[in-house]
């Protein structure tokens, strides 16, 4: 089953896409297929020869430089005329047994020398429109590279995310100045901030390691997120045995998410993901992942630096 990335946005592989069209679903109204030219026709001929009807809307080509869109006069009955450019940018069609799933097919091979930049704008517009009109499934063949790259680019633009995680993907140690101050480094931290900002921190919320009571985060370090839809956000985990995630009885999120802080050694060392352990007693406090973590409420936080509430005590400074 497709994986939920954001509200009304899913990621999956070619099998997930075929299953949506064969079995039908009310969840997906738009589908972005990022596949090689040879695989794009899989909706018409899939595995055992099952034919899934489709109705072509249009095809759009670009010139040799990948810049200028061809005009509609370059097309005759949906086909490219002799005057039109050579490169297919995308095609649009309605596909799938009367389900009226609108599908955009982008011909892109799973190779390192393929250039995504020519396709990002049209993919962004399609995903954005699809989320407004319904829900979008973005898929490639395996669901781990091309589709993930398109969704990452979409989220960076849509949510104004930065490239701060770039060095982590390469495993490089980052400049410690990019991380937030360690609130537990000394007891003078809170008093210094209080005197400089004339703010009363005597009742400020603080999060401490449950094992050794070391201060690990302040309320100002917490990254708020909009609660998800609870148990329904985990529908893609369901199997015949039922849903192992039963969140219906939880009144609130089971974790808090904070900004990256200087006591997080794994983060500083450039890991993409890993455990968050107390800097004093090394007790496990949570987990971090620059690609994101889904909260128990169903909301997806990216990047994510997660502290489990069961591992920390909430007190005042």
Shared-domain flag, residues 44 and 135: yes
- For residue 189, CA distances in Å to 181, 219, 265 come to 9, 14, 20
Cβ contacts of 177 within 8 Å, gap of 6 or more: none
pLDDT of residue 165: 52
When mean pLDDT is compared across 5-19, 37-51, 174-188, the lowest value belongs to 37-51
Shared-domain flag, residues 39 and 141: yes
Q: Is the dihedral of CA 278, 283, 287, 290 positive or negative?
A: positive
In a domain, 267, yes or no: yes
Shared-domain flag, residues 18 and 74: yes
Q: Which helix (H) or strand (E) holds 171?
A: none
Q: How many CB atoms lie within 10 A of CB 86?
A: 10
Tell me the three state secondary structure of residue 219.
Answer: helix
% residues pLDDT > 70 (the chain)? 67
Shared-domain flag, residues 99 and 235: no
- For residue 160, CA distances in Å to 117, 152, 154 come to 18, 11, 9
**CA-to-CA distance for 7 and 20, rounded, in angstroms?**
18
pLDDT of residue 38: 65
**Averaged pLDDT of the chain:** 75
Half-sphere exposure of 48 (CA within 13 A, CB side): 2
Shared-domain flag, residues 52 and 154: yes
Characterise 38 by phi-psi region: left (phi > 0), alpha (psi -120 to 50), beta (else).
alpha
Shared-domain flag, residues 129 and 183: no
- The enclosing domain of 25 has a CATH number of 3.90.190.10
In a domain, 165, yes or no: no
Q: How many CB atoms lie within 10 A of CB 316?
A: 11
- In this prediction, residues 208-225 reach a mean pLDDT of 91
Structural domain of residue 306, as residue ranges? 176-316
Shared-domain flag, residues 84 and 231: no
Residue 268 pLDDT class (50, 70, 90 cuts): confident
In a domain, 164, yes or no: no
Shared-domain flag, residues 207 and 247: yes
pLDDT of residue 79: 42
Structure tokens at 108: 């892109």
pLDDT of residue 185: 82
Domain tally, the chain: 2
> Which DSSP symbol is given to 242?
B
In a domain, 303, yes or no: yes
Ranges of beta strands (E only) in 123-204 are: 136-139
Tell me the three state secondary structure of residue 58.
Answer: strand
Structure tokens at 149: 């790259």
pLDDT (tens digit per residue) in 153-190:
999 898 887 665 554 445 566 677 778 889 988 554 44
Catalytic sites, residue numbers? 140
pLDDT (tens digit per residue) in 285-294:
999 988 788 8
> Which DSSP symbol is given to 81?
-
Ranges of beta strands (E only) in 40-98 are: 54-62, 75-76, 79-80, 87-95
User: Rounded to a whole number, what is the distance in angstroms from the first to the last CA of the chain?
Assistant: 46
**Which of 128, 158, 188 lies at the terminal end of a domain, its last residue?**
158
In a domain, 166, yes or no: no
């Amino acid at each position: 089953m497709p994986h939920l990335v954001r509200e009304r946005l899913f990621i999956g592989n070619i099998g997930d896409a075929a299953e949506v069209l064969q079995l039908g679903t009310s969840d997906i109204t738009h589908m972005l297929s990022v596949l090689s030219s040879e695989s794009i026709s899989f909706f018409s001929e899939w595995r055992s020869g099952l034919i899934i009807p489709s109705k072509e809307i249009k095809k759009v080509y670009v010139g040799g430089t990948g810049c200028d869109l061809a005009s509609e006069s370059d097309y005759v009955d949906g086909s490219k005329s002799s005057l039109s450019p050579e490169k297919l940018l995308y095609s649009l069609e309605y596909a799938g047994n009367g389900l009226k799933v609108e599908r955009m097919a982008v011909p892109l091979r799973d190779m390192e020398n393929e250039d995504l930049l020519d396709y990002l704008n049209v993919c962004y517009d399609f995903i954005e429109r699809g989320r407004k009109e319904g829900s979008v499934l973005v898929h490639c063949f395996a669901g781990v590279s091309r589709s993930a790259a398109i969704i990452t680019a979409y989220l960076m633009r849509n949510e104004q995310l930065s490239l701060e995680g770039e060095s982590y993907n390469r495993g490089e140690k980052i400049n410690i100045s990019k991380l937030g101050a360690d609130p537990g480094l000394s007891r003078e931290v809170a008093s210094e901030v209080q005197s400089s900002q004339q703010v009363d921190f005597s009742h400020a919320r603080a999060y401490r390691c449950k094992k050794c009571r070391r201060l690990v985060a302040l309320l100002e370090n917490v990254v708020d997120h909009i609660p998800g839809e609870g148990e329904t956000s985990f529908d893609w985990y369901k199997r015949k045995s039922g849903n192992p995630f039963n969140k219906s009885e939880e009144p609130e999120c089971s974790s808090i998410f904070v900004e990256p802080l200087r006591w997080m050694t794994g983060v500083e060392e450039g890991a993409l993901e890993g455990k968050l352990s107390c800097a004093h007693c090394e007790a496990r406090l949570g987990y971090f992942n620059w690609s994101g973590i889904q909260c128990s409420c169903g909301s997806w936080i990216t990047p994510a630096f997660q502290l489990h509430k069961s591992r920390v005590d909430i007190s005042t400074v």
